[in-house]
Chains A and B, each alone.
Chain A
Amino acid sequence: MEELANLFHGFAVALQPYNIMLMIIGITLGVIIGVLPGLGGANGVAILLPLTFSMPPTSAIIMLSCIYWGALFGGAITSILFNIPGEPWSVATTFDGYPMAQQGKPGEALTAAFTSSFVGALFAVIMITLVAPLVAGFALRFGPAEKFAVYFLAFCSFVGLSKEPPFKTIAAMMMGFALAAVGLDSITGQLRLTFGVTELLNGFDFLIAVIGLFGIGEILLTMEEGLAFRGGNATINLRVVLQTWRELPAYWMTSLRSCLIGCWMGVTPAGATPASFMSYGIAKRLSRRGNNFGKGEIEGVIAPETAAHAAGTSALLPMLSLGVPGSPTAAVLLGGLLIWGLQPGPMLFVEQKEFVWGLIASMYLGNLAGLIVVLTCVPIFAAILRVPFGIIAPLILVLCAIGAYSVHNSTFDVMLMLVFGVLGYLLKKCNYPLAPLVLAIVLGDKAEEAFRQSLLGSQGSLNVFFSNGLVSTIMVLGLIALFWSAIQEGYSRLRTSMA
């Protein structure tokens, strides 16, 4: 129970008025950063990092990690209201969050998203408090083969479930892989598919593709459908929060499953993005109302948000205990730790107790503060949808352009965003699903890298993916997910023939 005593000591540190003030500033800044597409949590933390050098390290990390929580909360807002994911892990939230907003239920969707985020984070923090050393060791077992298996599982849990014709899904996914391949090949150090265009050195950034495909594409579609925003009749009072809360406990199973997926992905560390996709895919498959997913099902908001937040929070564990960041933001925080003279790694928990437990206590308090801040703002966010389309559309367009520009400070990216917008519009008109394309852009190069690293290590033998219990289990789970519908069909046929 030494941990609990440490934790209470941590609360005493985090509850100093100065630290509480930093916490609230951090959350507010984080929400703003999360709302602006392109300006992700990693960027926000990186910009503010130098300003914290004069603070004590514990206060500094409290403020910076609160920015991180704030950004995790904020990412959901634009996904639900405008179909523009502010962060990579909010993409899966758009699938059901945006339809809900269009049906006049933005308040419900936002409340569900924020609350699930909180639940996911809380679950992850409790895990960090109780079993930190145990779980940290688990991450060490993940070499390239295990990582590839995780990505494989993320793809497979997503492929089998699309309602669109399978060939369209595959076509969209392959297009995503092709786009992900542009730029520097990290295994051979060669440039691929850049055709000498220096702007393409960086490849196609995921954020620019998503802002274009979803944001601009959506505006084009809405224009065609008569310039009307369909969320106009949204109820805007705080009662909607309480009403939604009454519904949420019914989905405890989805929440728990998503928490587990999120913690697993955060610790390994694969990150919040595969966690949110995987959680959405599995929820759709296992839910009784799975067929309604994509049409505005509240469960389709709960699953990805819970998992993303659980992963985002537990990603700090490998950072602290091993020095491996589980997310881009964690990478920047890691740099901060080094600058403050704190050495992340196995000794941090032993030598810097006050810092570590102060941070963990601030995770509890920061998320609670974040939840209160964003929930009170739900009516305000929802009211945005009442603004006439003619006014809001140009604003969204400007926001998208700023977002695309700020990813690499490049005007080329703004043009690219518009091209992706047209592409998104065309694909939607032809009924090609966008989700597999986006999934492939986000995870394609990582999966490829892990695959090739594994094969380098095994000198070309595919057996490496079945070489130990851990990797084999994940691969088999992936294969089951891939052929799930075929298995189901076979099973029901078997039953009818038996009868």
Chain B
Amino acid sequence: MKPFVLNVALAAIAMSCASSTASGAGWEPVRPVEFIVPAGTGGGADQMARTIQGIVTKHNLMKQPLVVINKAGGAGGEGFLDVKTSSGNPHKIIITLSNLFTTPLATGIPFNWKDLTPVAMLALDEFVLWVNAEKPYATVKDYVEAAKKAPAGSFKMGGTGSKQEDQIITVGIEKAIEAKFTYIPYKGGGEVAVQLVGNHVDSTVNNPIEAVAQWRGGKLRPLCVFDAQPMAYDEPIADGKAWKDIPTCKSQGLAMEYLMLRGIFMSPKATKDQIEYYVELFKKVRATPEWQDFMKNGAFNTTFLTGADYAKWVEAEEKRHEGLMKDAGFLASGN
């Protein structure tokens, strides 16, 4: 969605103000690199991409400008197809979220992650079960009881998008506790959190960064995190509780785990040198204090994977999504 020419011009001005750094042999970009975001402006992936762009500019990590471009159409399908058709163009990278799997499965657009070249996993985004702080349920057990007691379909779960991560988790919870929710899709995570504050839905599975402000303001209460272990951050956020103090859902008898990929891919047919360049770049980005602050604010899981490990992780995750979406009946006909 970004006007490319102006973008490049501005970034070029910014770059020309800075002295260039010497770097070793190997491949380097010779023109501006497009950083595709398969989601709209202001969302989680967009924030991460723009933070990276800011870090790269501020610390002078690239000689060529990095230009963020949003291609959100068709639940991100527009962005994925754009990179897929740029075969052999090393000046195009894309940041992915779970729609890497869910969009092709749900809509049937001709795309699979294997069409792209995996570069690196930057982080994993956590999901937390939130309820309104006015509600009586203080633990997962109370919540499950309330959900089971309510007439089928009258318990409302709000989430971002349709047949994407939030709804997949909702179906997982339904299965785990044998209750029936009504899932209401909204456009963005911030909106979902506010709908919960306004009591228009009964619970949400917002990412930490989307709901933390309402938690600190005493409006929302986290019940559990959909991860295998509690989050790592022990700085108190609200009522003396830290991210670390939120129990895992599994330990509370709600057997569902889900983490969302925040990873980087590049165009098909990239050479080893080119992949290596971007891996090194993101290693440098991860070492900056700005990145670490960003991770802390969003309570991210900071797992970093590259190469074969990364590809293996993505492959396993694709299988899992296929299974989850098939069970939920979310697959497009013909898939």
Contacts and interface: CB of A to CB of B under 8 A. Distances in A.
Interface of A: 38-39, 42-43, 46-51, 53-54, 139-144, 183-191, 194, 198, 201-203, 322-325, 328, 331-332, 334-335, 338-339, 341, 343-348, 406-409, 449, 453, 456-457, 459
Interface in B201-246: 201, 209, 212-214, 216-219
Contacts of B194: 139-140, 322-324
Interface residues of B, number: 73
A346 B213 contact: yes
A324 to B, nearest CB: 5
Contact of A183 (B53, B73, B193): B73
Contacts of A141: 198
B190 interface: yes
Contact of A407 (B1, B77, B153, B163): B1
A421 to B, nearest CB: 21
Which residue among B3, B69, B75, B216 has the maximum number of chain A CB atoms within 10 Å of its CB? B3
B41 interface: yes
Contacts of B293: 341
B255 interface: no
Contact of B184 (A42, A144, A198, A331): A144
12 contacts: A46-B50, A47-B6, A47-B10, A50-B54, A198-B77, A201-B109, A322-B194, A325-B42, A331-B188, A339-B50, A345-B216, A408-B73
B256 to A, nearest CB: 20
B4 A406 contact: yes
- Could you say which of A39, A47, A141, A189 has the most chain B C-beta atoms within 10 Å of its C-beta? A189
A339 B54 contact: yes
B68 interface: yes
Contact of A47 (B7, B217, B330): B7
A408 to B, nearest CB: 6
B47 interface: yes
Interface of B: 1-7, 10, 14, 40-42, 46-47, 50-51, 53-55, 57-58, 68-75, 77-78, 81, 106-109, 153-154, 156, 161-164, 182-188, 190-191, 193-195, 197-198, 200-201, 209, 212-214, 216-219, 290, 293-294, 297, 330, 332
Interface centre among B5, B41, B209 (most CB of A within 10 A): B41
Given A43-B2, A198-B78, A408-B73, A144 B213 contact: no
Interface centre among B74, B186, B214 (most CB of A within 10 A): B74
A332 B42 contact: yes
Contacts of A341: 293, 297
Nearest to B191: A324
Contact of B42 (A48, A194, A334, A409): A334
A3 B55 CA distance: 36
Contacts of B6: 39, 47, 406
B185 A186 contact: yes
A322 B2 CA distance: 27
A453 B78 CA distance: 25
Contacts of B46: 335
A187 B198 contact: no
A188 to B, nearest CB: 6
Given A50-B54, A191-B107, A322 B197 contact: yes
Contacts of A339: 47, 50-51, 54, 294
Contact of B330 (A38, A143, A189, A347): A189
Contacts of B290: 53
A323 B193 contact: yes
Contacts of B70: 46
Given A46-B68, A141-B198, 14 more contacts: A46-B41, A51-B10, A53-B57, A184-B75, A198-B81, A198-B109, A324-B190, A324-B194, A325-B190, A345-B214, A406-B2, A406-B3, A409-B3, A459-B154
Given A50-B54, A339-B47, A344-B213, A332 B41 contact: yes
Top 5 closest pairs, chain A to chain B, by CB: A345-B213, A202-B73, A346-B217, A201-B74, A331-B42
Contacts of A345: 212-214, 216-217
